[in-house]
Structure formats: structure tokens, C-alpha cells
Structure 1
Amino acid sequence: MTPYELFKQECHEEIALQGGDASLVDATRTWITTANARKYSYHYEWMGRPIIQYPQDVMAMQEIIWRVQPDLIIETGIAHGGSLIFSAAMLELNAACGGPADAKVLGLDIDIRAHNRQAIEAHPMSRRISMIEGSSTAPEVIEQVRRFASGRKSVLVCLDSNHTHAHVLAELEAYAPLATVGSYCVVFDTIVEDLPKEMYPDRPWGPGDNPKTAVHEYLKSHPEFEIDHAVDHKLMISVAPEGYLKRIR
């Protein structure tokens, strides 16, 4: 066993213990509830664009992108474009290290605001980014995405748009099958299930109706995916607990 392999084995054991530490899990949940009330995830940028993610999830995505080496990343939900820029930057680094040279990011949003589109298209990473405006669950949009993904060897999917159970379940049915074996469909904001209902007074989602409930419903009939609990146990602080779905067959 090499020193690196030994280090990784030790990390694997430590991560499992960390995830099983009830006191740490409770402390983390308390911190997340308090931090979300302060809109903690809104305060970070990637290369000049708001990314609206926890740093821990950004690090997890970096690890996955390096390991999977996707030649296509599909993202539902664009907002200010920071996540698209992040994904494009990771693909640029992969390419510089011998990964897929023509890897692309495809972003979908029902409303790409003009100022956000302009900022994304003016960004140095824009050459790797394509965008589709329209509902991610509309048949014509789904068909466009499928055509875009045709022929790609390694596809990573990220779902982060409307967070209701019905919408996320429809996105999972449409886009999770595009994730290739060994890659992931990452469902963000599953944390909604674990937060107080009053935290979302003006939103159609909340406990009982959110991305995590959609994930659990989807997995009942899709054994080709499993929750990668090792990611949850490692991150602890995450907007996507039980949302890192690995395609295993």
C-alpha cells in the first residue's frame, strides 16, 4: 500500500466515524439552521459571479468533476451564473491536465435575466458554456438537452431549479438517466426537508415537499442510482444531504 493509499484508507475510516457521531450531526444541523436564516450560501462568488452554494459542496463538486472527468455537465437553474462558471473552470483545468478537450456545460433556466446572461457570456469561461431558456420539465427543452448530450462519453447532472417535490421528481425522470455509469446526478437543496417550515414562508416548497422527498421517491424505482453517503459524512455541512446520487449501473 502506497503512502497515499494508506492516507485515503485512514480518511475513509475517519469519515465513517464522523458521519456516525450523533453529537456532531446535531451540532451541524443547529449551525445550518442558524446560518440559513442569515442566507449564508448567498455570500460566495466563483471567479466574479455569485455561486449561491456552501463552500463544502463546491469542494465536493470539484472532487467529483476531477474523478468523473465529464465531457458534459448539465445544470438546471442558472441564477447569477456562478455555478456554470465554476463547472466551466473545472472543465478547463481538466482539459489542461489531459482531460476532455471539448467538455461543455449546459445550463437551463426558465428565466435567464438579461444582465446575468450578459455577464456569463462576457466571462472568460463562456466558451465552454451553452444555455437554454425554458422550463426544464418542458418536453421541447428535455429533447434539446438529450440531443446536446448525444454522443457524450461522461455526463454529470446537477439539479438546482424549482425545489418542489413534483418539479424535482420530473427533472430526475428527465435528466438523471443522462448521467453515465460512475458519474452522479446531484440534487441540491435537499436540506429543505431538515429545516423549519417557517424558513420558507413565501416559497411553494418546505418539509414534506422538496428535493429530498423527490429523491426518496425516485430511488424507489431506480436501483441504478444510490445515495453516496460517504459524501454526506465527509461534508457534514451541505445543502444537499442525501442528494449526491451515484449511478452504479
Structure 2
Amino acid sequence: MTARTKADAMTEDDRLAFEAHKREMSLALGRDDEAFRSALDTLVCLDKYDYSYLWSWMGVPIIQMPADVMATQEAIWNTKPDIIVETGVARGGSMIFMASLLQVIGKGQVIGVDIDIRAHNRETIESHLLAPRITLIEGPSTAPETLARVSAEIPDGASVMVVLDSDHSRDHVLAELRAYGPLVTDGQYLVVADTLLGRGDASQTPTKRSKVLYPGNEPYAALKAYLAETDRFAPDPVLNGKLVLSSSPGGYLRCKSP
């Protein structure tokens, strides 16, 4: 037995213990209201610097908090969906990010839906090396004709994840939840972005936006209303527990039934 083999033999395999500790700490953090409030104060402070606008993925602005990028990566890697539908294209970074994960996994397509895909953003996306894994659909996200086009891009038997990140007003998000929630397949995620807007008070609402949304008229209010209507989804306590420096705390729902 070589020295390396002996050392390996004496080293405990702690991978399961490490994962168990991660889960325990994530759940504990999710129960720590003081930590969440402290993080919220930090995010409010950072908003003056447009913090979520400072990041890019593979050269394209992603407009996400780093914690949300990591959480979405975990969701995709753990469930390996065939199709990811995202409402809200913006500059395209989120779709490039998700497509890059599907490329590594070796399968899948991202469908981006937006009422207005600006020409320069479309050019950025369609000229990117990951463009073959992206399908763009322009139109109102909840319009029947748009939904029909989305459904036509989903093969029979495909596993489907959905990310809702377009107009963040309560009624629109609730309409999207009702329209796109049924597309999500068993075990996959339904992600509601920017739930942070409903987790603070009015004085903490970001105002450097094209549309200012105060608590009650935002995604978290829509999420709560939707969960009262359906038993198909439940918040993932581990993933959400870690999301204290996040735009979407509580926004990661797991489909628990066909």
C-alpha cells in the first residue's frame, strides 16, 4: 500500500455528513428572522448602486443577485429539466446562463417569452454560441396564442421547469402562475422572481425602477394567493432557507404531483 493509499484509507469519507450539515444550516438560516432582516437592510443599501445590474454571464448582463444564480444552478443541476420556460427576456443573460447549464448536462432547451424583445437584445442572444439551446417567443406571456406557441415547443413527455420574471405586479404574476404552473412537471421547479418586494415594508421598496411595486402588489403576494389555490406546489425549505441575500426568497417552489 502506497503512502497516498494509506492516507486515503485513514481519511473519513464525509460527503454525506457535509451534505447533511448544509441541509441543517440552510433550514436553520431559513428560520432566523433576524438574519433575514439584516440581509434585507443590506440589500436595500446596495440598491442605490443597482447591485443586481452589475453582473453578467458569459458576456451578457444577467440582472440577478449572485445568490439567485447559485440557487437556480442547484435547481437545474439537481433536476436536469428538458425544457426551461422563462418569462421576461430582458437582456438575455438569464437564458444564456440556463442554456450553459443545459449544454453541460447535454440536453434541453430554454424558451424565453417576452412581450417586447428589443432588436439589440435579440441580436445578442441569437448570435451567442449558446443560441442553439434558446428559443425566443415574443408576445404577451399570458395570451392564449403565446401559450399555444410555448406549448408547441415542449415535446411530449418532457420534464419542464418554469421561471417567472417579467411584469412583477401581483395580478400579472398570479395570471402567469395560473397559466404556466400547469406546464411544470413532477419534481421540477416553478421559480417566482423578485419575491423580496413583498418581504419588507413600503420604506424598503426599490424606487429606481420603471414600475414601483409596493408590498401587496408584487410577486410574493401573487405566490401566496396561488399556493392557496393549488396543492401541486410547495416551497423548497432548503433552497429558500439559504436565500437571505436574494431577490427571490421563498420563490422556489417544487412540483410535488403530476
2:221 pairs, out of 188, 213, 234, with: 213
Tell me whether 1:78 sits opposite 2:86 in the alignment. Answer: no
Sequence identity percentage: 42
Match of 1:28 among 35, 39, 49: 39
- Aligned equivalents of 1:44 and 1:157: distance in 2? 22
Deviation at 1:238, TM superposition (A): 1.0
Task: Tell me if 1:181 matches 2:190.
Answer: no
Per-residue CA shift, 1:93-130, capped at 9, x if unaligned?
111xxxx3xx1110001110000101111000001001
Deviations, residues 146-200 of structure 1 (Å, cap 9, x unaligned) = 1212414211100000001111011111111111111111000111113453533
- Look up the match of 2:144: 139
Ranges in structure 2 where 5+ consecutive residues have no aligned partner: 1-11
> Deviating runs (4+, > 3 A) in structure 1?
195-198
Secondary structure of residue in 2 paired with 1:111: coil
- Asked if 2 retains the 8 angstrom alpha-carbon contact of 1:47 and 1:85, the reply is yes
Q: d(CA) in 2 for partners of 1:140 and 1:110?
A: 12
The AA in structure 1 aligned to 2:103 is: E
Structure 1 residue aligned with 2:55: 44
Larger mean CA deviation between 32-41 and 195-204 belongs to: 195-204
User: Residues 190 and 243 of structure 1 are in contact (CA less than 8 Å); yes or no, is this contact kept in structure 2?
Assistant: yes
- C-alpha separation in 2, matches of 1:136 and 1:216: 20
- In the other structure, the counterpart of 1:127 is 132
Pairwise CA distance, 1:18: 2.0
SS of the residue corresponding to residue 235 of structure 1 reads coil
Rg larger in structure: 2
TM-score (norm 1): 0.93
Report matched runs for 1:1-249 at 5 Å.
Answer: 3-95=14-106, 100=107, 103-197=108-202, 199-200=206-207, 203=211, 205-249=213-257
Aligned partner of residue 229 in structure 2, secondary structure:
coil
The count of corresponding residues between Structure 1 and Structure 2 is: 243
Q: Which amino acid aligns with 2:136?
A: M
Please tell me the root mean square deviation across aligned C-alpha atoms, in Å: 1.6
Letter matched to residue 159 of structure 1: L
Q: Are the equivalent residues in 2 in contact too, given 1:104–1:130 (CA < 8 A)? A: yes
Deviations 1:68-101 (A, max 9, x none): 1111000000011000100110000111xxxx3x
Gaps of 5+ in 1: none
| Distance of 2:47 and 2:102 partners within structure 1 | 30
- Letter of the 2:53 counterpart: Y
Asked whether the equivalents of residues 169 and 218 of structure 1 are also in contact (C-alpha less than 8 Å), the reply is yes
Q: Distance in 2 between matches of 1:35 and 1:61?
A: 22
Question: Deviation digits for residues 7-62 of structure 1, max 9, x if unmatched?
Answer: 11111112222222333222111111112232110000000000000011101111
| 1:202–1:71 CA distance, 2 compared to 1 (3 A) | closer
Q: 1:223 and 1:59, CA in 2 relative to 1: closer, same or farther beyond 3 A?
A: same
The answer on whether the counterparts of 1:192 and 1:207 sit within 8 Å (CA) in structure 2 is yes
Distance (whole Å) between structure 2 residues aligned to residue 138 and residue 22 of structure 1: 39
Counterpart position of 2:4: none
Q: Tell me the TM-score normalised to structure 2 length.
A: 0.90
